[in-house]
Structure 1
Amino acid sequence: MISTRDLENLPKPDALRSLLQALALLDAILEEEWQYRYYSFNSKWSATEQMGSMRNGSGDDFFAIFDSAGCFLRGFAHESAMTPWRETPPTIWPGVLEEVPPQFENSLKEPAFHMEDTTFCIWSLASDSAWSRGSIEFPANEDDPDGSLWMLSALDGNPTTYQLFAKEYFELDVGLDAITRVFAQEPLSVELLQAFPSSRNLQDVIADAEEIGYPIKP
């Protein structure tokens, strides 16, 4: 299990970027409409940044920025004990953002990330060997006080984790071999697309893959 209290098994930034690209492509294959997808990835977020995200449609989300500085990831679980909305006016839990390195200052100010709704934040500088978070006194008697346990544990890199997710979220039975091929970054092709329970047109999925930055078979 992965959470802000135990980040050891969270993939390192380069591996996390690859995983989020794979998850975004899998969602694109299974769901035609972007607004109904759970994971997305924009390889051209800016001239120097790439961005992966999760939105569950119920108000919970995370955004991960990848650039030369490293990776910055903030998340929001609206029903968690550490939600800013536990108080009036809303207040981010002490320690969550105070120690974010200055290299990620632009992300802290990014309007699209609605930082005022943050319940957890982690980062890894390019020079770091591990993920970091702020110095936080977590609320007592809470298994997942900031929502990071259920959000980050889904990023364990195990194809079975996505298979179970697709069954619940999309109500589709997806073959483990097909998911594994995408996790391995097999270039998108007719053959790969046919391995999924999807009626999507290859050219449309290629357009998604180009935005995601996922490889495409020539």
Structure 2
Amino acid sequence: MNATHDPRDVHELITVLPDVPVLRDRCRALAALDAVMGRRGGSYFDYDPAWGPGVEAALMTNGAGDEYTILFTPDGVFGRGFDHESWMSPYTNDDMALWPGLVDTLPEVFRPLLAEPAFCDDDVLTATVVFWRENSDTAWRAGPVEIPDDDGDGTGFLFRVLAAGTPEAYVDFAQGYYERDVDLEAVRHVFALRPLTEAVVKTLNPRAEPSAVVETAARAGYPARG
């Protein structure tokens, strides 16, 4: 997986996602990079190690109505993504119904999350992508959802950076998003979860205040020590 190949849909996404510990570290690194690079009206990537009792959350929102949430729970991991322009959105039908197959085989341990207010509108899950992995699973799973040929579920752009999982993919994203050059070696430092030094912070964002960045990253679960 690299920055030039996005997962076409949830079925491809679940074949390229890494094991849970690696995914968690990847999410924490993205949140730390978001804190370093500077937030434009809010975080793009974030991580909340105390989202709920025993639950950690990786979050992405692009500010245009598209988002994902990945919950690391005592029972495993539950992920949902929402592409607001996809025909698979519940807003495209009068009943506000989920796309067929999206959650049909979701394990019972995750079903309460379908009514989580943070993910719902009028008690309906806002999602075009759903995937999960119970603690006993040896692979990521998704429901038997059929993706429309003339549209998609949004996986490609929602999970592009996370699925690629490389510093190079993040640099490709960040240079377009922040419209400035981004130092690859400094990004590699953060991806490795090494301590955020003043030199690394200033290399990535000369306007940043290192102590404030370190504090923000720590709140997002980034380790104080590598």
TM-score over 0.5 (shorter chain): yes
The structure 2 residue matched to 1:134, chosen from 108, 131, 143, is 143
What amino acid does structure 1 have at the position aligned with 2:68?
Answer: F
The structure 1 residue matched to 2:134, chosen from 125, 140, 150, is 125
2:148 is the counterpart of 1:148? no
2:81 is the counterpart of 1:75? yes
What amino acid does structure 1 have at the position aligned with 2:141?
Answer: S
What pairs up with 1:178-189 in 2 under 5 angstroms?
A: 178-189=186-197
Secondary structure of the equivalent of 1:123? Answer: strand
What amino acid does structure 1 have at the position aligned with 2:84?
Answer: H
CA contact (8 A) 1:83 1:117 kept: yes
What amino acid does structure 1 have at the position aligned with 2:179?
Answer: E
CA change 1:161–1:148 in 2 (3 A) is: same
Deviations 1:143-184 (A, max 9, x none): xx1111222232111111110111111112111111111111
CA contact (8 A) 2:26 2:165 kept: yes
Deviation at 1:39, TM superposition (A): 0.5
Which residue matches 1:65?
71
**TM-score (normalizing by structure 2):** 0.88
Which residue matches 1:27?
34
CA contact (8 A) 2:38 2:205 kept: no
2:49 is the counterpart of 1:43? yes
What amino acid does structure 2 have at the position aligned with 1:122?
Answer: F
What amino acid does structure 1 have at the position aligned with 2:66?
Answer: D
After TM superposition, the structure 1 stretch with the greater mean CA deviation from structure 2, 102-111 or 48-57, is 102-111
Give the Cα separation in 2 of the matches to 1:24 and 1:67: 19
Which residue matches 1:170?
178
2:220 is the counterpart of 1:212? yes
CA contact (8 A) 2:98 2:127 kept: yes
CA change 1:197–1:205 in 2 (3 A) is: closer
CA change 1:217–1:194 in 2 (3 A) is: farther
CA contact (8 A) 1:189 1:216 kept: no
2:108 is the counterpart of 1:102? yes
Give the Cα separation in 1 of the matches to 2:188 and 2:24: 16
After TM superposition, the structure 1 stretch with the greater mean CA deviation from structure 2, 63-72 or 151-160, is 151-160
CA contact (8 A) 1:77 1:83 kept: yes
**TM-score (normalizing by structure 1):** 0.91
Give the Cα separation in 2 of the matches to 1:22 and 1:109: 29
Which residue matches 2:210?
202
CA contact (8 A) 2:115 2:125 kept: no
Deviation at 1:100, TM superposition (A): 1.2
The gaps in structure 1 that reach 5 residues or longer are none
Which residue matches 1:90?
96
CA contact (8 A) 1:29 1:205 kept: yes
Deviations 1:75-111 (A, max 9, x none): 1001112111221132210111122111213322221
CA change 1:32–1:147 in 2 (3 A) is: closer
What pairs up with 1:105-116 in 2 under 5 angstroms?
A: 105-114=111-120, 116=125
Runs of 4+ in 1 over 3 A off after TM superposition: none
CA contact (8 A) 1:154 1:162 kept: yes
What amino acid does structure 1 have at the position aligned with 2:149?
Answer: A
The gaps in structure 2 that reach 5 residues or longer are 1-5
Q: How many residues end up aligned between the 2 structures?
A: 215
- Identity among equivalent positions (%) equals 33
What amino acid does structure 1 have at the position aligned with 2:153?
Answer: D
Which residue matches 1:10?
17
